[in-house]
Each structure stands twice: as C-alpha cells, then as structure tokens.
Structure 1
Amino acid sequence: MKIKIVDKTTNDNSKEWGYGTVLKCWGSNPKKFSLFKISRAEASGKDSYRLDTLHDQSAHEDMVWDKKYSDISSLKDDLSKYFDHVMRVKATIIIEYL
C-alpha cells in the first residue's frame, strides 16, 4: 500500500474538529510533519476519539498514536504537548494497492 501526499494546506483552521477530520502536525520544520485522522475509539459505547496515523514525520509506516480521548478538547490539549503546530486540513484520502 502506498500513500501519496499532496499538500495544499491553507490557514483556514476555523472549522470544528470531529470524526474524519485530518490534522497536520509539526514542530519547527513544516516539511517534517505528521498527518492524523480523528476516529471513533472502538471499545467505547459512548462518544470517544482516537487518532489514526496517516503519515508519520519520521516515515515509520507502523507508527500508532495509542491514546483515547473522551472529548475533542482533551485531544487538542494532548497534541499541543507534542507539536508546535496543529492544523485542520482539507483532505481526500485515497488508498491504492500497488
């Protein structure tokens, strides 16, 4: 499986975060970034969130964000501990088997 990244990031970060939102996160170098998708945590019967890693800044394809969150504000707070910049991006995810 191969993921192709076409970066068309804009500064429109005004929309709310929710299930399916794709986040671009980086430190001081915007060319070294990670991409995450907000998903529902499977094991919970109530609203809960987790991050699916789409692209890891260090290019480890098996990287996992192994945390679950009860609300979006907890997720935002946690991401701000690890990254200097966290931005919602408009994204279309296409998965191709080569």
Structure 2
Amino acid sequence: MPGLKMTSQAETTEPPIPPMFEPYTMRGLELINRVVVAPMGQYACDDDTPNDWQLVHLGSRAIGGAGLVIAEMCNVAPEGRVTPRCSGFYKDEHIAPWSR
C-alpha cells in the first residue's frame, strides 16, 4: 500500500529515547541528559559553611542520574542571609566545603 513502510522486528522492539534522556550541550557545558534538579534551600549550614548535609543532599541527586544539579542559594555577604543557617560564599573558608 502506498505510504506504508515495512519494518523488521528489530526496528520495532526498541522504543526511541525520549529527548529528556538524551545528552544536551548548553553553552559548552555537556550534560548527560536534560534532567535538572532545581535549587532547594536546605538552611542547614553551620556558620554559613556547607557541611555533610549539603554533600549528601546534592550528591544523592547527582548519583540519581540528574544531568545538572543546582545548589541552593548562596549569599555573597553575611548581611544577605535569609536565615542564620543559609549557605555563604564570601569567605575563603567557604571554598573548600563547596569544592567537595
């Protein structure tokens, strides 16, 4: 019949990969997929410094397969904190914990 395409069994058993799970490049950043974890304020820092809580929270999302995990808000000055337990990135002491 006109317009019909014959396919083999092998072609019909594998469903196509949805675009959400295909690799994606954004301004030179290569992601394994298009799954993005939005930032979630944890308010669990000690002295504005990320600790094991952030490591486990963000790391578990990355291990779960998300292509991009965005960390919670990060204050650039102590006066900008929303709560006393917000994360900061305004002292040299903040660099190493965020690098883990």
TM range (shorter): under 0.3
- Greater relative contact order, per chain length (Cα 8 Å cut-off, separation 6+): 1
More helix by share: 2
